Amino acid sequence: MNEKDIMKEWKRDSIIIGTPTNILAALTAFIPVIWLCTTYDCWPPVTTVLTAWGMVAASFGAFYFVEPVSYYAALGLSGTYLSFLSGNIGNMRVPCAALALDVTDSTPGTIQAEVVSTMAICGSIITNLIGTTSAVIIGSAVLAVLPEFIVSGLTQYASSAIFGATFGNFAIKYPKVAVFALAIPVALKLFTPLAAAWVIVITVFGTLLIARVFYKKGMLA
Amino acid sequence: MSVIEQVQQVSNAPILWILCGITVVISAVQAVLYMRQCSKITREAGIDPHIPKEAFRVGFISAIGPALGVFIVMVGLMASIGGPMAWLRLSIIGAAATELSAANIGAEACGVALGSEQYTLICLAVSWFAMALNGAGWLLFTGVATPSLETLRNKVSGGDMKWLVVLSGACSLGIFGYLNSGEILKGVGNTIAVLAGAISMVILVKTVCKKFPRLMEYSLGIAMIIGMIFSVGYDQLFR
């Protein structure tokens, strides 16, 4: 088989695995609340649930579309299914996938890159599941003996440092583009009242546009 | 039994672990299915079988740092929404902040405060519906629309493989520029974490990892720890 056929097969299989599992998980996540309402006969009024739904959709609805579109280039086909089922995308999935591409010297767009980023994301999902599950079992006990500064370090600063490190790693490759990627959202947040979803869209597509201009002018080797 | 005690007891009912576990297991099964698919394609494409194993290890190791953060946040979330729900919500899409706001919105829709004496089982149900409906937004959109995103990427790249590489890098820079801007605007401590994380990563990749390529696997974890040390140090010394 040549690379093109393999890529086709890869895409087909990725969709066959991803589509049903993500949709199924959306449904099974309702099992606990249905159990709650039937067991204790505490069905809330439909209007109240709709009100709550409207409120969460107003807060997060735009992200349902903006995040998958914006992260797609970094995650790929199978990576998108995996990451949006397992969550922790910015602080775990993308950094792990990007680092694995670097370590194995894989070029984005090739079948090897697809396999590498998928395997890295799977590895990080296993770690995350171990983390949440052990938090259930030993969480409170561990938290009781950890010094305060470690707890605050992990809860307040771990994400910031990971975001910074991942940005730094991409910035090595495209330093000129990186300047704009950081300046655009900072300026938008400081000087405009735009909602977060718009800031993401403008930042990602603005950065993409600038990269395109540099690329066309041959300024990105 | 007071309302608060009843809500606490119900949200920690033993059977809930099994009911919540169904969705957690689906996430694990999906990962296993993709790993099987990877090993099949690795054989067919003649990729060095060492490479996917290496990639898995990089993901597994690099996730330890952020997973420790999730671990601690989860202990806090268990106290407010119950153990089984915290386990479910943090094992799938939705960060702790997202889930807490969805749970709060549920309480608000009932006109009461989360965890108060007026927060009855009916309100608990509204909170749980709000969390499940919110998560379903991402899951259904990606479940249905991901193949179209692939088409979109191919259109934007126009078959130019060199541009596709730059495009992936530019999108990632945009996303992390956005994420970092949020951290920087939070205050000095977070800004220090971002800067120390970024600078130590650049130094690691450009110098240390060139000499010791094996260290590349741990670069993200090391940069995270350095970033945290600087911020915590700042907090201890100046606040």
The model's pLDDT over B11-65, given as tens digits with 9 standing for 90+, comes to 889 999 999 999 999 999 999 999 999 999 999 999 999 999 999 999 999 998 8
CB-nearest to A174 from B64, B173, B179 is B173
List the single range of A19-33, B43-57, B70-84, B162-176 with lowest mean pLDDT. B70-84
So what's the pLDDT on residue A144?
A: 74
CB contact under 8 A, B138 and A64: yes
Residues of A with CB below 8 A from B132's CB? 29-30, 33
Q: What interhelical angle do B83-91 and B64-81 show, nearest 10? A: 140
Closest residue by Cα to residue A60 from B232, B97, B117, B46? B97
Given a contact cutoff of 8 angstroms between Cβ atoms, the answer to whether B69 and A133 are in contact is no
pLDDT exceeds cutoff 70 at B206: yes
The model's pLDDT over B116-170, given as tens digits with 9 standing for 90+, comes to 888 899 999 999 999 999 999 999 999 999 999 988 888 887 778 788 888 888 9
What is the C-alpha to C-alpha distance for residues B88 and A31, in angstroms, rounded to an integer? 11
How far CA A210 is from CA of A181, B3, B182, in Å, comes to: 9, 57, 21
How far CA B199 is from CA of A71, A161, A166, B49, B142, in Å, comes to: 24, 10, 10, 33, 34
The mean pLDDT value for A67-74 works out to 87
Banded pLDDT at B220 (limits 50, 70, 90): confident
Q: Is B221 on the interface with A (CB under 8 A)?
A: no
Domain residue spans of chain B: 1-145, 158-239
Residues 55-74 of A with CB under 8 A from B: 55-57, 59-61, 63-65, 67-74
Considering A19-33, A50-64, A142-156, the range whose residues carry the highest mean pLDDT is A19-33
For chain B, the average pLDDT equals 88
So what's the pLDDT on residue A1?
A: 67
Give the CA diameter of chain A: 67
CB-nearest to B59 from A36, A120, A190 is A120
Of chain B, the percentage scoring pLDDT greater than 90 comes to: 45
So what's the pLDDT on residue A61?
A: 84
For chain A, the average pLDDT equals 89
Most A-contacting residue of B20, B148, B224, B232 (CB-CB within 10 A), to test interface: B224
CB contact under 8 A, B29 and A21: yes
What is the C-alpha to C-alpha distance for residues A163 and A168, in angstroms, rounded to an integer? 9
The model's pLDDT over A91-148, given as tens digits with 9 standing for 90+, comes to 889 989 999 998 999 988 889 999 999 999 999 999 999 988 888 888 777 777 878 8
Angle at alpha carbon of residue B206, lines to B203 and B207, rounded to 5°: 75
pLDDT exceeds cutoff 70 at A221: no
So what's the pLDDT on residue B77?
A: 78
Distance from CA of A121 to the nearest CA of B (A): 6
pLDDT exceeds cutoff 70 at A80: yes
Rg of chain A (C-alpha set): 21
So what's the pLDDT on residue A187?
A: 95
Most A-contacting residue of B168, B199, B203 (CB-CB within 10 A), to test interface: B168
Phi and psi dihedrals of B212, rounded to 5? -120, 85
So what's the pLDDT on residue B165?
A: 81
CB contact under 8 A, B30 and A82: yes
ipTM (interface predicted TM):
0.85
